[in-house]
Amino acid sequence: MQGKGDAPRVSVCIPTYNGEEFVAEAVRSVLAQELQDFELLVVDDHSTDATLEVVRALLDPRIRVYPNNERLGIPGNWNRCLALARGEFFCLFHQDDVMLPENLIRKAHVLASDPTVGLVHSAAEIVVEDSAPTSPADWIENSLEDFTVDGRSYFRKLLFHGNRICAPTVVARRQALLDLSGFDEDLGFTPDYEMWMKMCVKSRVAFLSQPLVRYRWHGTNASHAYRFERGVEEYLIAGRRALEYYLKWTKRQEEGEIFAEGLVALSSLRRWAVELERAKAWLEEQRLYWRAESERQVATIAELRGCIAELEKGMARPEV
């Protein structure tokens, strides 16, 4: 059953790229939602593995599949999802995560009940796979209670504390995203961060403390590629662009200057943090290497001692 006219209440879009390992579980979790008034779009960014075959094998008429003829990259593919969507509300869901059954119905209810709320997000249950190279950072909003907050207040929190919003947990007003011209395609790592901050300028933000998504942390998460190299710089760029938008609408120039100085200081701290993390990762590699080397040496010594023992036994035998 669909909502008013032909448009569904919620558009769930899964942008995929080489996601054959987990995508079937992600799609099934959307199809199992308590809310039935939704459309599901899988927009594949020119995968080279069996992602499309896996999705098409699910044989569910509610799935619409759109393969890209060429690689668009993360924000480019997100924008294609946005362009193809028809719902009043929009959810950009990851190919490797799991949506819990109440996710859409609870978040759609929040948006439908309060037109001043532009986006609602939630807590997430982190699932750490054995392939994950590091432990996930503690970055997702961790309030123990539901809340709805003034957007500009939340803007400041995001600007100075980093992205507290886990992208696949977001359900937002699609028109608000379109009014902002979609995701910034210059940002490979932080287009969602910039978007959420911009949305805060004109609307309130709601948060649900119940985990409604399982967020999978594994070895092929796209964020790993940006962790050391582009991550800090893109945080700074996203913050500056969002701040420009904030000043355009609030006209709070003096406040903006203070925010800009704070951003520069934070970027320096983040660079130091990245260098420390890089050093920590190197030390861990060294620890594992020398541990393995030590185990090899112990095994070699044990083998040599066995050989020596055999030789000593032979030498101790009386001559016939």
Predicted confidence at residue 6, as pLDDT, reads 74
Up-side HSE of residue 244: CA atoms within 13 Å toward CB?
Answer: 7
Q: How confident is the model at residue 4 (pLDDT cuts 50, 70, 90)?
A: very low
At residue 313, does pLDDT exceed 90? Answer: no
- The C-alpha atoms of residue 43 and residue 19 are separated, in whole angstroms, by 12
Please state, rounded to an integer, the average pLDDT across all residues of the chain: 87
Q: How confident is the model at residue 162 (pLDDT cuts 50, 70, 90)?
A: confident
Mean pLDDT of 201-216: 96
Mean pLDDT of 213-220: 77
> Model pTM?
0.79
pLDDT in tens, 86-107: 999 999 999 999 999 999 999 9
The residue among 26, 12, 65 whose CA lies nearest residue 172 is: 12
**φ and ψ of 154, to 5 deg:** -70, -30
At residue 181, does pLDDT exceed 90? Answer: yes
DSSP state of 140: S
For the segment(s) 10-251, the CATH number from 3.90.550.10, 3.40.50.720, 1.20.120.140, 3.40.50.300 is 3.90.550.10
Residues whose CB is less than 8 angstroms from the CB of residue 62 and which lie 6 or more positions away in sequence, other chains included: 31, 39, 40
Share of the chain above pLDDT 90, in %: 59
